[in-house]
Structure 1
C-alpha cells in the first residue's frame, strides 16, 4: 500500500459541501482508504480576485492504485461533480490534486509529483502539516521547516 496526500478545494456552490462530497467519493474508491483528513481551511483565491474564497482540505490515503490510476480516478470525480476547466486559477466546483505519492518523484506529461507548487501555498502546507507534522518530502525537507521560508 502506498500513502498519498491529496489537496481538495472548492469555491462554488457551497464549497464545504463540495469538499465533503469529493471526500465521500474518494472514500468509496476501490483499493483506497482515507487514513487522515485535515480540518477545513478558508483561504483567499490565487489568481483572479473577483471570485469567492476557497475551502481547502488535505487528506491522506492508503492506496493500491498507481499514481496515474489515482490521477484518473480524481479527474473522474472532478468531472462527475461538474468541474469545468476554462480559466486558470478561476473559480471551481472542486479541485483534487495529488500532492505526494509515497516518496516517488514523477514527471510525465499528465502528472508531476510532488505537486510543483505545493511548497509555495499555505493553503496546502498548513493542512498537510496538520495531518502529517513530521512528514519529510522527497527533497529531504521537513514540512514544518517550510513555514520558515520567505
Structure 2
C-alpha cells in the first residue's frame, strides 16, 4: 500500500482534490481508499497564504511500480493541475501530492525520502491518513498513525470538511 497526501490552497481546492483523487484511482491496482476533505491553516507558508484543503488516499501500487516511478507520476499530475516550479518555498499551489509511505520501503535519496520525514508530526497529514489507515506504521514511525495523531500537541488547526 502507498499513502499519498493531497493538498491545495489555490483555486477551487475541494474540486481540485476530488479531481486529483479520480486521477489517482487510475494508478491503483485496487480501489482507492479516500479520506474526507480536511481544512487546515497554512504551516511554514509565506504570510497571507490561504488555508489548505487536505486529504489522503491509500493506493495499491501496480506490479513493477517503484517509489520513484510513482513519484514521477505524482509530479506529472501536479503539473497537469497547474503546479509550476517553486518561486517561493511553500507558496500557494493548486495541487500538492506527497508520497508519505510505500509499503515498508525506507529510502533516502536527493529526490525522495520514505517514509516522508515530517508526516508523523503534522496534523494536516495525520488526520486524513488516520481516517483511511489508522494502523499505518511505516518504518521509523514510533507508533501507528491514529496513535501519533492523538499524541500531537494542540495548536495546529485542522477541521473535517466532509466527504471527498
TM-score (norm 2): 0.84
Q: Does 1:9 align with 2:41?
A: no
Q: Which runs of 4+ in 1 moved over 4 A?
A: none
The RMSD of aligned alpha carbons is 1.5
Q: CA deviation at 1:33?
A: 3.7
Give unpaired runs (5+ residues) of structure 2: 154-164
Give per-residue Cα distances to partners, 1:11-50, cap 9 Å, x unaligned. Answer: 1110011111111111123x64443111000001112240
SS at match of 2:60: strand
**Other structure's SS at 1:60 match:** strand
Q: Partner of 1:135: helix, strand, or coil?
A: coil
User: Which residue is equivalent to 1:42?
Assistant: 39
Residue aligning to 2:139? 138
> Are the equivalent residues in 1 in contact too, given 2:7–2:53 (CA < 8 A)?
yes
The one-character-per-residue Cα deviations of 1:89-121 (angstroms, maximum 9, x if unpaired) are 110010010000001111111111101110121
Mean Cα deviation higher: 14-23 or 70-79:
14-23
Q: Distance in 2 between matches of 1:130 and 1:41?
A: 11
Query: d(CA) in 2 for partners of 1:68 and 1:111?
Result: 8
Structure 2 distance, partners of 1:77, 1:137, is: 24
Structure 1 unaligned blocks of 5 or more: none
Match of 2:121 in 1: 120
Decide whether aligned partners of structure 1 residues 45 and 34 sit closer, same or farther in structure 2, where only a CA change above 3 A counts.
Answer: farther
SS at match of 2:32: strand
| Aligned residues of 2:25 and 2:32 also touching (Cα < 8 A) | no
Task: Output the CA distance in 2 between the equivalents of 1:94 and 1:149.
Answer: 26
* Higher mean displacement: 135-144 or 107-116: 135-144
